Chain A
Amino acid sequence: MTKLIKVSIDGLEVEVPDGTTILDAAKKAKKYIPTLCYHPDLKPTANCGLCVVEFENMDATKRACSTPAWEGMKVITNSNKLRKLRKSLLELILSNHDVACPTCDQNNKCELQDLANLFNVDDSIFPKILKKRPLDLDSFSIVRDSNKCISCGRCLIVCQEIQTVYALTEGGRGFDKVITTSFDKGMYDSPCVNCGQCTVYCPVGALREKNHKDFVWEALLDKSKYVVVQEAPAIRATLGEEFGMNPEEVTVGKMYAALHKLGFDRVFDTNFSADLTIMEEGTELITRIATGGTLPLITSCCPGWVSFMETYFPKRAENTSTCKSPQQMFGTLVKTYFAEKEKIDPANIVSVSIMPCTAKKFELARPEMKDSGYQDVDYVLTTREFIKMIKEAGIDFATLDEQKADNLMGAYTGAGTIFGATGGVMEAAIRTAYFVLVGKELDDLDIKAVRGMTGIKEATLTIPTKDFGEIKLNVVVAHGLSNARQVMEWVESGEKDYHFIEIMACPGGCVGGGGQPYGSSIADRARRGISLYKEDKDLPKRCSHQNPDVNKCYEDFLGKPNSEKAHKLLHTNYFERSKLNGEIIREITHKH
């Protein structure tokens, strides 16, 4: 057990485990120390210096975020000297910051803005030293604005250590140092997988999504267009916190109402195609097991993971499910199945999806995603963009009456909704696979072993199948790409033997996606996940094979799961990408 030490924070004695930082000790004493570069999810970079504290028994200042407390220390968290230092530091930062608050995407959500305001900072004290740099606009998903960057280093930790993508790096030195991509080529020419975690952690709006909001407004206001919308499961678990409601509440009815109000012609739900994905992917899994196909099977719902696999583990393409993601399955069906049913010219359909994700903006632009004969999905709005649209339209979200999704592609089960949390796809797949293999529903649909925020979750399931006797299924769930990398290394070295693997690029799964509100912490992500599991529990149908709209779609249009038509429309192929710039090197798997 770790030794406890006694420390004094502004005269208040607290006991903390040895190795606790001064900042955490101060939190324990309920003392506030201002921070800027620090984020509780990330190891401290200690770059900004704002958290410096003084000591009663020592003439020195130290950073609270990165300095471990020691026995007998007497910390002073605030003093005239410290206030002056903090103010000056903010003034220095502002002299090298593009202070463009009114037009900034992160206005009102900006950590620098908050602090500058709290400290009454005068940004004219020092002359401006900002050296303007061009924006990086070429990526499908991410916009990088170095003029706002304060070099806190959070994005680097996220990109390099949590995601192990290594798209972002530091270039140059001193004042000329800039957080950039190799050879300053921009995100498009980097191995960026578009996960967007950098945008979530950026405190100042230097990293944000590529905006599709204006295009969507244009389509909505264009009478000749038929605008159809789908929303990912994570959205309903997030909106409440942004509109002053109980953050634990799932706001699906209000979400549909807001979308109708915004003028979408049809409001469907990605949860429908999540259930559809289970039918396709579950069938694929069972087929691979039954026919001795390539195992383990790895999920393919997450476009960040797919790019990561194509870049760093291209040999694992043969393991990756050929299923498209729910967003893309939905997009294809809107411009085929839906268009056919409703007799609408698919050329006039604008297919919009609302996602907690930035990688979805990249995914929709993949050249192979045109199986409907058109670009399957036209625009992706992140949660952040969607919230702004609601505000722009003057909708008072919290007081909206609940509505339902429209028919045909709007019904969903509990299995579909838990797609938004890590482990959800695994759990949904097991529910349906069990039913197919055993011939009856699972007694307890809650598969707790694959839930929760542990980075890598393993389980072995015993399934008494009707055709092959009892089989043992080794499954693993990884979220966050460093965990995904670890699992892939185990698979490649043969150290672990799995049958089925779920991977989500973002920590927490989609509820922690790169398009979620700025500053989303691990705690926020965990809470949203729990909300989805709660919704699942309360739904009358909790297994994908029970979804009436999905079953109707098979009956009327697709035939049966993994049918030729399903293959043509709902499955895809993979490419090998360059580790240097993400460029396609070759096609690895082919569509049959």
Chain B
Amino acid sequence: MKYFRTHILISVDESTIRAGVKNFIASLRNHLDKYSLTDEIGILETGSIGFFGKGLCFVVYPENIIYANVTNEDLNEIVTEHFLKGRPVKRLIVEKPERTQYDFNYKKRIVLENSGIINPEDIEEYIGVGGYEAWEKALLEMKSDDIIEVVKESGLRGRGGAGFPTGLKWSFTAPIKAKQKLVVINADEGEPGTFKDRLIMEGDPHKLIEGIAIACYAVGATKAYIYIRGEYKLCIERLRKAIAQANEYGIIGKDIFGSKFCLEIDIKVGAGAYVCGEETALIESMEGNRGTPRSKPPFPGVKGAWQLPTVVNNVETIANIPSIIKNGADWYSAIGPYKSTGTKVYTVLGDVKMPGLTEVEMGTTLRTIINEYGGGMKDGKKFKAALVGGAAGVFLSDELINVNMDYESLKNYSAVLGSGAILVMNDDADIVDMLWSVIRFFRHESCGKCSPCTNGNELLFKLINDIRNGKGKEEDLNKLIQVSEVMVDTCFCALGQSLLMPIKSAIDNFKDDFLKRMN
């Protein structure tokens, strides 16, 4: 392996590809070649470095300098000044927030530990940072029961929103005898404001594959599917490559590491339906049907896709597995508070200085996440509210800005961690507008199967629309809550049960915004 004195980590993701990063890299190589620097300076195409709205950007390591908004015209200057003469080009350097997600020394990164550091399209790089060691350990040294025990003890809970203990989920399926069992990865990321799974898949696809392999071995599944939403073209492409490489290296496939264990991984795509994030709807969609949820029981772990026992896990959940196996349950459960162990990936969005992605320890306060990782409020405006947990989340006011972000603490405030999306709003935001947008989203995404959800969403939208247009009455606020309460008890799946939280929290915490529209 070549040794480079300097690494340039260039983010190649949906937005930078748009901005012409491929062309940029080609011309960077030309420049390095021109000054005979190719043996000294390595270029790594990485996933997103969690930094948005800044056009093309790259990190120079070990200096840890970030250049942003760079164009081809700037290249000559950077190469000659910085790489040749060691004088960073100040005008292009980004001012860093206090502590950033691309602080590579930050010890608590687990699922994003390699994102932005290694080339996601090269299995060698993943292996180079210790990748697939956990898989080898699991397969050759551990029994499947031991793995499930470790995952149980680690306290890992599902990161898709519901927070169900992962080890427990596996333990339902593992003992079932069936001609085939399946593991399905839910990568139908559709919760508004959430794109953590996309960045995990784009930035470190092999981590996901390693996690899948371990999960399959633990529950006795010989076939895994990754169900990715249709819009995530780059993820699909990168995972296809990663699967092909893993097959080629004998990491998955037949008789893995001489253990007789076989595993096939396949990709299924969605076509635009939020409800397919619900595990039984996802299974319906995988089978080539309308993505409407099924009755539970039977639970998918017992009878899932094609009636086979099927474990459905979220991308982020599975991306935690290799580290847990490698470092042990104690190591993992020491991170974060009791009952909410590990780290969580958040997307901090809205009226903050640095919208983006961050992985922090469970239990970190909302204030810390917004101020330190989101860079604080943009343009010096005042914080008004945060919609935490995605559209199916809760509108929190500044009174709760010090809440610890973990499953249990949020439960005390009838709030949820959800998908980890944090949409920050400043004083200019109007909660009626925001709630209108939330309800519109659910109305659009209701699958139409059960009548409480179908009719309920339409009615809620009519009510909020009237309020927004100044035609509402105060009693309509009660109706909003009444209907969403009925929906909690009668809707067929979680989608219809989701509206009470945003509606109730918006009305409880920001009633003035509603009353303003009524006079």
Contacts and interface: CB of A to CB of B under 8 A. Distances in A.
Interface in A124-172: 126-127, 129, 150-153, 170, 172
Interface stretch (B137-145, B242-250, B451-459): B451-459
A176 interface: yes
Contacts of B486: 85, 88-89, 92
A175 B446 CA distance: 7
Given A88-B483, A151-B454, A170 B290 contact: yes
Interface in B437-473: 443-452, 454-459, 462-463
Interface stretch (A27-35, A43-51, A367-375, A502-510): A43-51
Interface stretch (A60-68, A240-248, A285-293): A60-68
Given A49-B492, A68-B297, A175 B458 contact: yes
B490 interface: yes
Interface residues of B, number: 30
Contacts of A85: 486, 489-490
Contact of A88 (B446, B449, B482): B482
Nearest to A36: B451
A92 B462 contact: no
Interface in A172-196: 172-177
Contacts of B290: 170
Contacts of B449: 47, 153
B419 to A, nearest CB: 21
Contacts of B482: 88
B491 interface: yes
A458 to B, nearest CB: 29
Interface string B87-126: 0000000000000000000000000000000000000000
Contacts of A352: none
Contact of B450 (A47, A61, A175): A47
Given A85-B490, A89-B486, A174-B443, A48 B455 contact: no
B479 interface: yes
Contacts of A153: 449
B464 to A, nearest CB: 12
A92 B459 contact: yes
B390 to A, nearest CB: 18
Interface string B302-325: 000000000000000000000000
- Max chain A Cβ within 10 angstroms of own Cβ: one of B290, B451, B459: B451
Interface of A is mostly: loop
B216 interface: no
A351 interface: no
A129 B456 CA distance: 10
Nearest to A152: B451
A92 B448 contact: no
Given A49-B491, A170-B290, A93 B295 contact: no
A17 B459 CA distance: 41
A173 B454 CA distance: 9
Contact of B448 (A48, A49, A95, A173): A173
A49 B489 CA distance: 9
Contacts of B463: 127
Given A46-B492, A61-B489, A92-B483, A174 B448 contact: yes
Contact of A52 (B455, B459, B490): B490
B282 interface: no
B273 interface: yes
Nearest to A131: B458
Contacts of B447: 173-174, 177
A128 B492 CA distance: 23
B455 A93 contact: yes
B451 A92 contact: yes
A89 B452 contact: yes
Interface string B272-299: 0100000000000000001000010100
Contacts of B445: 174
Given A52-B489, A127-B459, A46 B295 contact: yes
A569 B459 CA distance: 59
A172 B446 CA distance: 11
Given A88-B483, A93-B455, A48 B297 contact: no
Nearest to B479: A126
B489 A173 contact: no
Contacts of A49: 450-452, 490-492
B455 A96 contact: yes
Contacts of A174: 443-448, 454, 457
B448 A172 contact: yes
A244 to B, nearest CB: 34
Contacts of B456: 92
A52 B451 CA distance: 13
B54 to A, nearest CB: 37
Contact of B451 (A126, A151, A170, A172): A151
Contact of B459 (A37, A126, A151): A126
Contacts of B492: 46-47, 49, 63
A129 B459 contact: yes
29 contacts: A44-B295, A46-B492, A47-B450, A48-B451, A49-B490, A67-B295, A67-B297, A68-B297, A81-B489, A85-B489, A88-B482, A89-B490, A92-B452, A92-B455, A127-B459, A129-B455, A150-B451, A151-B448, A151-B451, A151-B454, A170-B448, A173-B273, A174-B444, A174-B454, A174-B457, A175-B446, A175-B454, A175-B457, A175-B458
Closest CB pairs A-B (n = 6): A177-B448, A49-B490, A174-B446, A175-B458, A92-B455, A88-B486
Interface of A: 37, 44, 46-49, 52, 61, 63, 66-68, 81, 85, 88-89, 92-93, 95-96, 126-127, 129, 150-153, 170, 172-177
Given A95-B455, A153-B449, A174-B446, 8 more contacts: A47-B449, A47-B492, A49-B490, A63-B295, A92-B456, A92-B483, A96-B451, A174-B454
